[in-house]
Amino acid sequence: MCLLAIQYRVVPESPILVAANREEFFDRRSTSPSIQSGKPRILCPVDQRSGGTWLGVNQHGVFVGICNRRTLEPLGSNRSRGLLVKELLKAVSSRHAVDRANEEFNKYQFEACNLVIADRDNAYALHHETENEVIELNPGLNIIGARNLNDPRDERVQLANRLLTLQTLDSPVKFLAVASKVFARSPNPMARASMVVRGADYGTVSSTLIALGAKPRDAIYQHSDGPADEARYEDYSPLLRDILSRGLREAKNRVALVD
């Protein structure tokens, strides 16, 4: 499954605010977030089985996250969805990433998934099943899990929406502080939905909080290597600020060369 919330273009200094939990088999290991080699520079954790990722940011300020999509039957695949995310993180803009996603869907066969792709100018959700649906995100809070964006049938999505709208989250600090508690909400035997999923061999294996704005120095990237009700969020913000600063310098150099 997985669950991802994005508050888009509500806070002027941080138009992209993200909270996400990853669900996976416990024996499927991954690395902590790191800067990947090659260009553009990408900050993301890496799945040790496929070499892909489920969430990341590149030096152009493009965010990509993925959730598995629930279907009655598997679609069959010849390529990992995590490698799809890594490919999309090479894009220079969210629009470019959407175009690249459609190219990848035509080129390879992937299991069903939901993608969120965003930069400071545009944001999209992609539902990939037997057909593809692209939805442009409106400003505000958007949440996606195993069904459609903001799906009223998804009890976990609705719970996250209710908990994240109890107060006005009008700063990155407020959003991340509240989201860190919401996404650490432990399973409750009396509740039908919870933020942390805990099964015998499958459940929540990590949690990530991200804030992206106009200035690299204000960017935030926090990651817990385990469910957030058990593992603390570690700060990877210096790595994110480094790649965003690099991207800004390279963009300025390209403009100078053209002039």
Of the chain, the percentage scoring pLDDT greater than 70 comes to: 98
Q: What is the DSSP letter of 27?
A: T
pLDDT confidence tier of residue 198, bands split at 50, 70 and 90: very high
Q: Does the pLDDT value for residue 26 go beyond 90?
A: yes
d(CA 188, CA 166): 20
Distances from the Cα of 116 to the Cα of 112, 201, 212, 253, angstroms: 14, 27, 15, 30
CB 3 within 8 A of CB 64: no
Let me know: does 62 contact 44? Beta carbons within 8 Å: no
CB 125 within 8 A of CB 135: yes
Question: Averaged over 134-151, what is the pLDDT?
Answer: 97
The span from the CA of 259 to the CA of 255, in Å, is 6
Mean pLDDT over the full length of the chain: 95
Q: Which CATH class is domain 3-258?
A: alpha beta
Q: Rounded mean pLDDT of 73-79? A: 90
C-alpha 158 chain-centroid distance: 18
Residue 214 has pLDDT above 70, yes or no: yes
User: What are the pLDDT digits (tens) for 221-246?
Assistant: 999 999 999 999 999 999 999 999 99
Domain assignments of the chain as residue spans, ordered by start: 3-258
In this predicted structure, the answer to whether residue 47 has a pLDDT above a threshold of 90 is yes
